[in-house]
Amino acid sequence: MRFSTGVVLMEDELIPAIEVDPNSVTPGVLGFVVTFAVMIAVVLLVLDMVRRVRRVRYRSEIAEKLDGANPPAEG
């Protein structure tokens, strides 16, 4: 048990405590702008994906209706 306590004390001595003002360690305006831009890009990509999936689904429904309306001629 003494060995593990010694290891913890050695680690504490190697890494000094950093005292930083929490108000000066914010991402600031640049961080907000980048996060907002990423959010807008994700929303636009999701909307585009929904539109494309809807288009594919409608095309497959129409293809099924057309195939069902004209049964193939047996020869």
Q: Quick one: pLDDT at residue 1?
A: 47
| Residue 70 DSSP symbol | S
Residues contacting 35, CB < 8 A, separation 6+: 27
Model's pTM, two decimal places?
Answer: 0.55
Q: What is the pLDDT along the chain (75 residues), one digit of tens a residue?
A: 445 555 555 555 677 777 888 777 788 899 999 999 999 999 999 999 999 999 999 999 898 888 887 665 665
